[in-house]
Amino acid sequence: MRVLLDECVPRTLAREFGPAHEVRTLRDEGWLGIKDNALVDAAASAGFDAMITVDRGFAGRTDMPLPVLVVAVGSTRVQVLREYMPNILTWLESYRGWREA
């Protein structure tokens, strides 16, 4: 599964996803500074399956061309986000199962 990490998510979190996921960052793609709507469109066009962010500006939007998981935490430190990795991975797997059904 191809996953894009938003620029507000630490790049080092990519190491936590394991071999089942190809995880890229906005920096990897050369997309730093691209705003929300254009970013989601670019990610979908580039073949990403999902995006992970902590930007609550995405919450509640229903018109996105790919699923965006908004991890609602008070910190963007990798140590804090690492605690949510089991939930993030479960979400990705449930999405994969829904998509393949």
Write the CATH number for 84: 3.40.50
> What is the value of pTM for the model shown?
0.89
SS percent in the chain: helix, strand, coil, step 5: 45, 15, 40
Q: What is the dihedral of CA 86, 64, 56, 30, to 10 degrees?
A: 80
pLDDT tens digit at each of 101 positions of the chain: 999 999 999 999 999 999 999 999 999 999 999 988 889 999 999 999 999 999 887 666 677 888 999 898 888 999 999 999 999 999 998 876 556 54
What backbone torsions phi and psi does residue 51 show, to the nearest 5 degrees? -130, 145
Please give the pLDDT value at position 98: 59
Rounded distance between C-alpha atoms, residue 34 and residue 42, angstroms? 9
Please give the pLDDT value at position 55: 86
Shortest CA distance to 84 belongs to which of 26, 21, 13, 15? 13
DSSP 78: H
- Single-letter residue type at 78: V
Strand-pair partners of 25: 5
Domains in the chain, number: 1
Please give the pLDDT value at position 59: 63
Q: Give me 18's structure tokens.
A: 């394991």
Query: Which domain covers residue 86, as residue numbers?
Result: 2-100
